[in-house]
Amino acid sequence: MYLDRVVDRMFAKAPDRQEEIRTNPVTGGRWISGVDPVDPQKQSAGRALNARARFGSDNPGMPRLPLSYEEREDLKRGGLEHIVAWFARSLEALDYDCGRHPSFDEYACGVMASPLAPDFITHDPELSRRFPPHPLDGLGPGLCWRPARLPS
């Protein structure tokens, strides 16, 4: 698969490839070389890159989906970009499983209705017009969405 080769190349060319403590070149996740297996890091990178591609395809004209903590923090400057950063963190919490996570529009409408969202987002008239507030079940602390648990 093409993406597997891309991920392998990114890891092979990473500047810290000879170091003991490594950083995932896509997600920023850390692991100890020789102790922690690299395959889970590569799988996470592949899922993240797939999510970024899907987000771009599903949401043309939006900022690129941030995949690391640093990328998410760089977007947190209010407005749409801030919601994209929160969406990315919420998606990361589900291991980038786009099929289980609500769409960006559903998520953004949920953020606009959430009592956990700050006023600089919920009182933004442009965001309110674009994403009419609508409660999103499962949207919780950190504005991360969690699927409902099935009854036991």
Closest to 43 (Cα-Cα) out of 58, 29, 53: 29
**What are 54-107's pLDDT values in tens digits?**
999 999 999 999 999 999 999 999 999 999 999 999 999 999 999 999 999 999
Closest CA to 84 of 95, 97, 74: 74
Residue 150 clears pLDDT 60, i.e. is over it: no
What pLDDT sits at residue 151?
A: 53
* 8-state DSSP, 97: -
| Mean pLDDT (the chain, rounded) | 94
Is the entire prediction scored with pTM above 0.75?
A: yes
Over residues 42-58, the mean pLDDT reads 96
Query: Tokens for 21?
Result: 């403590």
CA distance 81 to 95: 21
